[in-house]
Amino acid sequence: MRSVYWENGKVVLINQALLPKKFELIRTDDIERLAEAIRLLEVRGAPSIGVAAAYGMVLAAYQTNGMTKEEALEHLEKNALLLKATRPTAINLFSMVDKMMDFAKERLAADDPNLGESMLQEANEIADAEVEASRLQGVYGAELIKDGMSILTHCNCGPLCSVEYGTAVAPMILAHQQGKKIHVYSDETRPRLQGAKLNVWELNEAGVPYTLITDNSAGWVMKQKKIDMVMVGIDRTAANGDSAAKIGVYGVSILAKYHHIPFYAVLPTSTIDMNCPTGDDIPVEERDGDEVRYIDGNLITIPNANVLNYAFDVTPSENITAFITEKGIIYPPFKENFKKLLG
């Protein structure tokens, strides 16, 4: 089952904010409700929010019936800005909205009488491409996982985050299906606990042996020689290889480097932003402090505690062993090899 799809005129999302306690689908034909779902992390993961945003542009396109070209373009541009304003870090959101806008302009220029249907076909192709990319990331990544290995991962990077299959978790599931005896250590991933709530749920569903650990025990687990490699998902990679990912990944990369453990970033090439020179140019989202003050509605500190709540951090390229993409594994020098791969 895909985590994001189109059905009967509506965008359908697995509500990730309710997992693992409750499985519920969000069905909406309201683009503002879809934007809210992205903001509230009801749908999350760079590929999934990119696909969700593409379907959001389909909703906007269907609303242009009866409008002039100029009115339709203005309506689409307004809703493109609405979607882009939801979360600033993941490049897939922006690139998919831009791709859909470029396509809409082409269809409007061609006097397409069925703009909504044409946009839906384009969004479906985007979703299918992301799914195939995830599958291939699993294939290439599984080649690196040997029988008996233990892998550390951080945040959620399975099927929920990338429509189907996953990014960093895809190689683990495939390696398990291939009969390799592996073990996955999943950081809980404060403050929203995506590792504990989502990663563990997905690993358990797939039958992959796992152990949930606290974020601040990752270094000690590495020192005990329990980890053979690290695999993480990425939200935006700059042209030089610096990569933004869930808060805590930067720290994990430092620990892995210190303990001489390979650190792999798993991502579709749609997450590589060649227009972003370095990690210093990646905007890092800050979220509401209540995400730290409360866990599942329970206050864990004083109500007015001062909080700094970064959603992401940026791992420097020198801490990354290689990037696993749908086009193969990319080793340093990253900038030159990205250019060769992406053309």
302 located within any domain: yes
242 is catalytic: no
CATH code, 79? 1.20.120.420
Confidence grade of residue 298 (pLDDT, cut at 50, 70, 90): very high
Q: How sure is the predictor about 304, in pLDDT bands with cuts at 50, 70 and 90?
A: very high
Last residue of a domain, one of 110, 132, 154: 132
User: Are 108 and 9 in the same domain?
Assistant: yes
Amino acid at 170: A
Residue 179 scores a pLDDT above 80:
yes
Cα separation, 118 vs 9, whole angstroms: 13
Q: Does position 343 have pLDDT exceeding 90, yes or no?
A: no
pLDDT attached to residue 339: 95
Parallel/antiparallel/unpaired status of strands 210-213 and 25-28: unpaired
| pLDDT score recorded for residue 306 | 98
One domain, residues 283 and 242: yes
75 and 200 in a single domain? The answer is no
Of 112, 132, 152, the one marking the end of a domain is 132
d(CA 285, CA 287): 6
Could you write out the DSSP letters of every residue in 318-340? GG--EEEETTEEE-SSHHHHHHH
> 72 and 191: one domain?
no
From CA 134, how far away is CA 268, in angstroms rounded? Answer: 7
Q: For the residues 85-110, what does the mean pLDDT come to?
A: 96
Alpha carbon distance 208, 66 (integer Å): 52
Domain C-terminal end among 91, 109, 132: 132
User: What is the average pLDDT across 61-66?
Assistant: 96
Query: Does residue 5 surpass a pLDDT of 90?
Result: yes
pLDDT at 280 over 90: yes
Helices (H), 284-324: 290-293
Q: Which residues contact 96 (CB under 8 A, 6 or more apart)?
A: 50, 51, 53, 54, 126, 270
Give the pairing of strands 322-325 and 263-266: parallel
Has residue 37 got a pLDDT over 90? yes
Contacts (Cβ under 8 Å, ≥6 apart) of 199: 153, 155, 156, 157, 158, 169, 186, 189, 210
Note whether residue 137 is domain-resident.
no
Q: Which domain holds residue 305?
A: 143-342
Examine residue 47 and state whether it is found in any structural domain, yes or no: yes
The 10 Å CB-count burial string (b at 16+, else e) for 10-37 is bbbbbbbbebeeeeeebebeebeebbeb
Q: Taking the CB of residue 317, how many other CB atoms lie within 10 A of it?
A: 21
- The total number of structural domains that make up the chain: 2
Q: Regarding beta strands 229-233 and 150-153, do their DSSP bridges make them parallel or antiparallel, or are they unpaired?
A: parallel
Measured CA to CA, the distance from residue 150 to residue 218 in angstroms comes to 13
Among residues 215, 235, 273, 313, the one annotated as catalytic is 235
Question: What is residue 308's three-state secondary structure?
Answer: coil
Same-domain status, 100 and 156: no
Task: Give yes or no: residues 77 and 28 share one domain.
Answer: yes
Summarised one tens digit per residue, pLDDT across range 191-207 is: 999 999 999 999 999 99
For the segment 33-51, the average pLDDT, to the nearest whole number, is: 96
Q: Kindly state whether residue 138 falls inside one of the protein's structural domains.
A: no
